[in-house]
Structure 1
Amino acid sequence: MPSATIVHAAAFAVGALVGGGVVSAVSARRQHQLPAVAVPGKAHVPSQPVVDVKPGGVTQISAQVASRVSVLPPVLNENPGPVSDQLARIAYVAGYDRRLRHPAWTAEHLTLASLGKSTLVSGPTKDERGDRQNSQFTEDQSIPAMFRAKLQDYFRSGYDRGHMVPAADCKISQAAMNETFLLTNIAPQVGVGFNRHYWAYVEDWCRRLTSTFADVYVFTIPLYLPKLESDGKWRITHEVIGSPPNVSVPTHFAKVVLTSRPSSPSTPDVREISTGAFVLPNAVIPDEAKLESFVVPIEAVEKAAGLTLFSDAIKQQSKHICKTTKCEVIVRRFDDAQKNSQTRKAISGPR
């Protein structure tokens, strides 16, 4: 389970030695040393907090502030919102957007060990590993019913229930995989040509980074980006699905990665940090599209999403991920392979 620090702050950050100096030191679930990663959406916390986030997403306004807010009725002692539900799972953390009814961001820490590929660490047995065929999409009961995405919202919507944290990243246990099927980890995605194809290739690329880097952090962020209309004005237009319409359909999705590895065998405590951001439209993308064609500055994603992902020091001292490894997807028809597997099982029958 995540450490108390991660549960309390919904943080996804640990310390790292960059240029010989300690940037930050926060205890992580696996006790790794990694670059300082700011908590998305979290600004500087004053020594005397003016708000206090309580369990269940209730945010109390301090008496000092409430006494100066004359517009609030005397009986109202809670901040009406917006509330960002900080979710700490077995294999990832996330922030849920109650208005859009999908994650505002998700963050995960990938290693060879977490993916069950390390020869140095004994991973789960075949029986212990998660199997997506044993998982079902589920409404998240931790979210108040009026703000919760529901299974019915996706029924005949024309969109896939797209994982923000992929199920394939969470095979460490069935419980971890089941948590990826909570609707608080889901956003509407175009199916054929995107969720089942190019987006899946990008997810696979993120996993393959663990063969080159000791630690891989992956942020997945739904975006709503403006489009230039024929009248010369920029507008953000997006579909809303559900009955009544509840769940917003992002126009784009971002993958932001931060990787870490020793800069050299002789200096294992000095880390080489690489970062990169990719923004993909929620639309059909040809298999032959180059991953580097979707590269954007990290600041562009932060500005569009209203998040602060990395410190300025990390951005300035890191190398671009496409300079330290190949930014190249491998085309694999994951959905076809899954269908073929299910067909073979159906033909062979139960064993």
Structure 2
Amino acid sequence: MSKFTLALVAGTSAAVGAAASAAVYSFGGRKKPDENPQTIISPVATRTGPTAPYPVPIHAADGRVPTIPPVDPSGIYQYGFPGPVNDLRPASSLVSCFDRARRNPQWVAEHITPASLLKREGDRRHSVFTEDDSIPEKFRAKLKDYFRSGYDRGHQVPAADAKWSQAAMNSTFALSNMCPQVGDGFNRDYWAHFEDFCRRLTSFYPSVRIVTGPLYLPKRDPVDGKWRVSYEVIGHPPNVAVPTHFYKVILAEDGKTGGNVSLGAFVLPNAVISNNKDLKDFEVPMEAIERASGLEFAGLLPPARKKRLCQEVSCSIIVKEYQERQKTMMSPPPVKGNVSGPTAVART
């Protein structure tokens, strides 16, 4: 694991907005045999007016009239909930959660199996990039935002994972499944090899779930030594944030009820990466991604069922020329259990 990458991720804690909840106070009690009836708590009155009603106690247990709050902050809800709103998008090939402020997905989840990769009924030549009209127009990423930006429209769930139907493949081309990615040397090279590694996991695991998304990590200022988050924004006007890094969380299931799940967590910079770079250099603890993203990926998975992916299989990419790699993507995945040969993931 790269000490530099781990230092960046593990030292970051993303601030995630939380919705405020209104506190509702009520008073009540049960009469005891020796209790003075006059000390029993009175019913609750409700204030009415332009703000949302909330209960106001008339008497406290000791008979005193409590102070009525002079303000009602939760009354803002009558005009609408400010947010944040996370647009969930369930589609045939993915489930995603959209970040309106950065016009990028927060996370996109997919599921691949040997059977899903074997079917080839989708053709990307029939798919087109589209804006996601399920997201309000003022918050969505637009096609023009990427025009002459210098960045690829980088799939978070790759089209090659959704060849099992044309509709499934089409669903991966919505901009809510995209982030600006460096093209040559990353999206079209190392990142594509990484996606191929994920597909090759189906040669050993019957079910592979993958969560992918962007990160915006801090960088130490060489002048004052302070850590700051800085990222480019593209668009007209500037709308879409350019992530500094991307993560993939892999949950490879053994297919048994209550069986083991092999976990892998990786963070890659949104930059040119040499093809001879070891994939394990980008492996990080799951908690590091969770702290950096404000997300949690396997909180319900019992520790006894957790395995480390890179201890189960060889975490390495296979480098091919682009045309050769495209041909390989079109070929069926290896038969389950066959972990030999150049297109399989070797078991360690």
For the criterion TM > 0.5, the same-fold answer is yes
- In structure 2, relative to structure 1, the CA distance for the partners of 1:151 and 1:270 (3 Å cut) is closer
| 2:167 alignment partner, one of 151, 170, 175 | 175
Residue of structure 1 in register with 2:227 after alignment: 234
Matches within 5 A, 1:44-83: 70-71=72-73, 76-83=78-85
The alignment of Structure 1 onto Structure 2 pairs a total of residues equal to: 268
CA RMSD of aligned residues (A): 2.8
Q: Displacement, 1:214?
A: 1.2
Which string of whole-angstrom CA distances, capped at 9 and with x for unpartnered residues, describes residues 62-116 of structure 1?
Answer: x688999824667834211110001100011010111110110000111011112
Which amino acid in the other structure matches residue 253 of structure 1? Answer: F
2:129, 2:175 within 8 Å by CA — same for their partners in 1?
A: yes
| 2:259 alignment partner, one of 271, 276, 279 | 271
Residue of structure 2 in register with 1:290 after alignment: 278
Residue of structure 2 in register with 1:160 after alignment: 152
1:238, 1:248 within 8 Å by CA — same for their partners in 2?
A: yes
Percent of counterpart pairs with the same letter? Answer: 52
Residue of structure 1 in register with 2:216 after alignment: 224
Which string of whole-angstrom CA distances, capped at 9 and with x for unpartnered residues, describes residues 8-34 of structure 1?
Answer: xxxxxxxxxxxxxxxxxxxxxxxxxxx
- When structure 1 is superposed on structure 2, of 330-339 and 168-177 the one drifting more is 330-339
Matches within 5 A, 1:249-268: 249-261=242-254
- When structure 1 is superposed on structure 2, of 156-165 and 68-77 the one drifting more is 68-77
Residue of structure 2 in register with 1:248 after alignment: 241
Equivalents in 1 of 2:55, 2:171: separation in Å?
37
- In structure 2, relative to structure 1, the CA distance for the partners of 1:313 and 1:272 (3 Å cut) is closer
Residue of structure 1 in register with 2:39 after alignment: none
Q: Displacement, 1:315?
A: 4.8
Q: Is there any run of 5+ residues in structure 1 with no aligned partner, and where?
A: 1-40, 49-62, 117-122, 263-267, 340-351
Equivalents in 1 of 2:177, 2:132: separation in Å?
9
Answer with 1 or 2: which has the greater Rg.
Answer: 2
| 2:117 alignment partner, one of 95, 99, 115 | 115
Which string of whole-angstrom CA distances, capped at 9 and with x for unpartnered residues, describes residues 129-162 of structure 1?
Answer: 1111111110011111000100000000000000
Which amino acid in the other structure matches residue 180 of structure 1? Answer: T
1:105, 1:222 within 8 Å by CA — same for their partners in 2?
A: yes
Which string of whole-angstrom CA distances, capped at 9 and with x for unpartnered residues, describes residues 312-332 of structure 1?
Answer: 644564111000011010112
Q: Secondary structure at the match of 1:277?
A: strand
Q: What is the TM-score of this pair, normalised by structure 2?
A: 0.71
Q: Secondary structure at the match of 2:193?
A: helix
1:105, 1:219 within 8 Å by CA — same for their partners in 2?
A: yes
Equivalents in 2 of 1:261, 1:165: separation in Å?
22
Matches within 5 A, 1:195-210: 195-210=187-202
Q: Displacement, 1:261?
A: 1.0
Equivalents in 1 of 2:77, 2:296: separation in Å?
35
Q: Is there any run of 5+ residues in structure 2 with no aligned partner, and where?
A: 1-15, 24-51, 57-68, 328-348
